[in-house]
Amino acid sequence: MSKQTKPRKSFCHLPPREFWTSDLTKIEKSDTPLNERGLVDTFAVVSMLRSYISPEHRWVQFKDRHHEYYNEEDYQGSALERRFRSLPINIDRMPRDAHELWHFMFLPPVKPDAELMRLMNEAYDVTTGLFRDAREVIRLQRHRERLLSQSFRVERGHREFRSVASRERGIDFHRRRFEAHLARYEALPPEGVLAEVDVADELPSIARKLGGAAVIRSPMRNLSSALQTA
């Protein structure tokens, strides 16, 4: 039996039939769309899911976790595979009926090769490391500035100055970590870059760009709004 004709499981959890744009049971499962890097093109999938269902449908409120790389048993060969499958950037939060529809309409994606999985694990570590240290430097700088502001209490000077020195040590520590992560970031090949960052930018600008890749998509991308957009 070919993968295209493999029987589907029950469709009782799909959106109600009255919202189908065609008879989904008569449409063969499609290959999961991939981007130019050979990774799942999430929003291409979402676009196709929306084409199957009337915009009048309101997706269920209950959200669950969807691993973009399935089946689970196909990613149990090594710690590398397990980690890649479980990266927050590879897990979506989506309505239960949309999750069911994804599996109903698409074949499991082509499994990336080990080198690509290794690269994406490294890219995620570098991106999140850069973001966290940039965010921490910004937080400590702001705290230091508050301590040195006009509201500074002279009578509490010794304690306040100790606090300032502590913040400055923290800033120095996280700047050095940021520089170390930056060296790893600059060594990534183009296909491993999750966020385009101009290192000449101010730190808050860098943090915002990194946050889009490392935090907004973490721990899971929420696809509800993308599915509901008309």
- Is residue 98 within 8 A of residue 85, CB to CB? The reply is no
DSSP state of 220: -
How many C-alpha atoms does 172 have within 13 Å on its Cβ side?
6
Helix or strand run (H / E) with residue 109: none
Q: Specify whether 84 is located in the same domain as 159.
A: no
Is the pLDDT score of 4 beyond 70? no
Q: Specify whether 123 is located in the same domain as 91.
A: no
Q: Specify whether 95 is located in the same domain as 128.
A: no
Q: Specify whether 62 is located in the same domain as 135.
A: no
Write out the residue range of the structural domain in which residue 209 sits.
Answer: 114-214
Mean pLDDT of 6-15: 70
Assign residue 38 a region (left: φ > 0; alpha: ψ between -120 and 50; beta: otherwise). left
Q: Specify whether 21 is located in the same domain as 81.
A: yes
Q: Specify whether 132 is located in the same domain as 159.
A: yes
Q: Specify whether 84 is located in the same domain as 134.
A: no
What residues pair up with 53 in beta bridges, in sequence order? 20
Q: Which amino acid is at 61?
A: Q
Q: Which amino acid is at 138?
A: I
Q: Specify whether 35 is located in the same domain as 108.
A: yes
Q: Specify whether 127 is located in the same domain as 63.
A: no
Q: Specify whether 64 is located in the same domain as 119.
A: no
Residue with tokens 């520590």: 173
Quote the tokens at residue 124: 């995620």
Q: Give the separation between CA 109 and CA 98, rounded to whole angstroms.
A: 17
The pLDDT tens digits of the residues spanning 53-64 come to: 999 999 987 788
Q: Give the separation between CA 228 and CA 230, rounded to whole angstroms.
A: 6
The count of domains in the chain is 2
Q: Specify whether 86 is located in the same domain as 120.
A: no
pTM, entire model: 0.82
At 2 the pLDDT is: 41
Mean pLDDT of 112-117: 97
Q: Specify whether 90 is located in the same domain as 135.
A: no
